[in-house]
Structure 1
Amino acid sequence: MQQTHSCLAVAMMVVALSGAVSAAEPVAESPDRQPVNLAGRGWQLVGYQSANGLVEIAANAGVTPFRFEDGQVSGRAGCNQFSGSYTLDGDRLVIGASMASTMMACPEPLMQQEQAVIAALTAAKTVRQSGERLELLDDTGVTLLVWRALPASPLVDNVWMLEAYRHDRQGLVAPMENTQISLDFHDQGTLNGSDGCNRYVSGYVLESGRLRIGPLATTRMACRGPDAVAEQATAYANALSLVSGYRIEGPRLTLIDAKGEVVARFQARSD
């Protein structure tokens, strides 16, 4: 009987020691888990959660690339430019509920899209990155937002000055005398310039040689000179909305439509 008790005690000690060793061993992370790196690049929003499931964002839906820099997230989700604070701890992401935003009025579908995206941002609890894909999830693991990382753009590092653009009624025409129209692309998927009357900003998506430019948001200054200056600005904005691709040949940038026809032609500014 004493021998039986001794064997039982030894066995219990072995089990206890085995449990102690197991508890002390670190748990290996999943090899599929990628460290989250939000800063230093632009993220193009491609999908958001709605009552009907994950919705794919259409081209020219008023969305500019999102940026996560120095604790601030910014972008445009359909209509207005916004910015807010965020904190990232591992894969835990908290975006502040109070956001600064412009107050533009837009078509109802874009306003609804924007409201859904902002709601998803503030409801996010974790972030998951897999290659060039970034997802924000709620506390139950449901994907709320999906982004795609933007590649470095060959369009940057130049200010492009307009030489000619497509006018609805006149074909390809030169800008009016004494007006300068410019286009400046940035790495984070945003662009800005002058339309000869007002400053403008927008976003662009560059993928596999294809280029899309979003709607222009402009200042509201009254144009100096004849009414034709304002008409030119409108025609230039319409031309940019047709862009589907581009060519760079030396110092010249040519924007083309889906048929390969010229929409606008620019020359790099020599500083």
Structure 2
Amino acid sequence: MVLSRSAAVLAAVSTVLVGATACVTPSTGPGVPPLTGSVWELQQIQMNDDTLLTANPPQNYTAEFAKDGQVFVRADCNRAIGQFTEFPDGRIAITLGPTTLAACPEGSISSQFLQAMNDANIYFFQNNDLFIDLKLGSGTMQFSGTPIPALVGTLWKLQQIQFNDDTLLVPDQSDHYTAEFLEDGTLLVRADCNRGRGQFTAGDDRSLEVSPIATTLAACPEGSIGNEFVQALGNAGTYFFQDGNLFIELAFDSGTMQFFAGPTQL
């Protein structure tokens, strides 16, 4: 059962009175996990009319709070970027901006999650989970945190490229299709039997721009997707993380590249 902020505080006080350690922590202070630095995966939304909305799977419903006051939200098949403000008394205000309007599959709680984020009122932690109470005491969201991977300094190996015309490209060997983003803005690429180099710019709003990539011109074996890989990287539009993987959405909603992290090459 999810505790509201008031109920959680009362429970903590009762526990302290009998000499045990309370499991509820305030929203700020020593030993309290920060909002930033984690991808918060929704576990459930417990409404006060006893309606229970379960995130299935949790990694499809996430909130990421950035240090500059932006919040990045994935609500199943939709995405939104907004602003958030923390207050010293534990209150939080979230205002989401424009949201994509894809029709999610049956059973999705996309719209309820987006509404709940806009209704955020108070946040606190319990056993390292994040809880956000909604306005007017209408319910509580529960999240579990996972660390945010680093775009820069990681060797990203291609898993697939899914184009919006239903074309799916899967590499025979992920080790042969890699992208490494360096701190100086250089992008190093392996595209099957060719190597390439370009420049990239990553914005605070998760925008990603890649300059034309210059590559060697070896003739790769039949079945290679080296050319398509390089072209897709050059069409990068935005990026996000899910379950430790990197996703790059292509310009004009033309498709999505999916990568997993591998050891950096020497």
**CA offsets 1:175-213 (integer angstroms, 9 cap, x no match):** 276866999999x9x79675333114343245xxxx445
Aligned residue in 2 for 1:95: 94
**CA offsets 1:127-158 (integer angstroms, 9 cap, x no match):** 22124200112343732x222222364x5541
Identity between Structure 1 and Structure 2 (%)? 10
In 2, the alpha carbon distance for the partners of 1:199 and 1:85 equals: 27
Q: 2:55 touches 2:109 (CA, 8 Å); kept in 1?
A: no
Q: 1:60 touches 1:213 (CA, 8 Å); kept in 2?
A: no
Q: 1:67 touches 1:73 (CA, 8 Å); kept in 2?
A: yes
The runs of at least 4 consecutive aligned structure 1 residues that moved more than 4 Å come to 164-170, 176-186, 190-194
1:119 positional shift:
1.0
In 2, the alpha carbon distance for the partners of 1:92 and 1:220 equals: 37
Aligned residue in 2 for 1:57: 56
1:117 positional shift:
1.4
TM-score by length of 2: 0.52
**CA offsets 1:100-127 (integer angstroms, 9 cap, x no match):** 225x342333996332112112223322
For the pair 1:136 / 2:136, whether they are aligned, the reply is no
Letter in 2 for 1:198: N
Aligned partner of residue 109 in structure 1, secondary structure: coil
Report the RMSD for the aligned CA atoms in angstroms.
4.5
C-alpha distance 47-197 of structure 1, shift in aligned 2 (>3 A)? same
1:220 positional shift:
2.5
Letter in 1 for 2:233: G
For the pair 1:107 / 2:100, whether they are aligned, the reply is no
Aligned residue in 2 for 1:220: 252
C-alpha distance 94-72 of structure 1, shift in aligned 2 (>3 A)? same
Q: 1:181 touches 1:193 (CA, 8 Å); kept in 2?
A: no
1:68 positional shift:
5.0
Aligned partner of residue 238 in structure 2, secondary structure: strand
In 1, the alpha carbon distance for the partners of 2:170 and 2:43 equals: 37
Q: 1:86 touches 1:95 (CA, 8 Å); kept in 2?
A: yes
Residue 35 of structure 1 is aligned with which of 26, 33, 41?
26
In 2, the alpha carbon distance for the partners of 1:122 and 1:150 equals: 22
Q: Which structure 2 residue ranges, 5 or more long, are not aligned? A: 1-11, 17-21, 29-33, 162-168, 178-190, 211-231
Q: 1:159 touches 1:184 (CA, 8 Å); kept in 2?
A: no
In 2, the alpha carbon distance for the partners of 1:80 and 1:148 equals: 19
In 1, the alpha carbon distance for the partners of 2:64 and 2:170 equals: 36
Aligned residue in 1 for 2:153: 158
C-alpha distance 212-58 of structure 1, shift in aligned 2 (>3 A)? farther
Q: Which structure 1 residue ranges, 5 or more long, are not aligned? A: 1-27, 222-229, 253-267
Q: 2:39 touches 2:147 (CA, 8 Å); kept in 1?
A: no
In 1, the alpha carbon distance for the partners of 2:197 and 2:59 equals: 26
- Aligned length in residues: 193
In 2, the alpha carbon distance for the partners of 1:203 and 1:74 equals: 9
Aligned residue in 1 for 2:115: 119
In 2, the alpha carbon distance for the partners of 1:183 and 1:171 equals: 26
Aligned residue in 1 for 2:236: 199
In 2, the alpha carbon distance for the partners of 1:56 and 1:169 equals: 28
C-alpha distance 110-135 of structure 1, shift in aligned 2 (>3 A)? farther
Q: Higher Cα Rg: structure 1 or 2?
A: 1
C-alpha distance 184-91 of structure 1, shift in aligned 2 (>3 A)? same
Q: 2:41 touches 2:59 (CA, 8 Å); kept in 1?
A: no
Aligned residue in 2 for 1:19: none
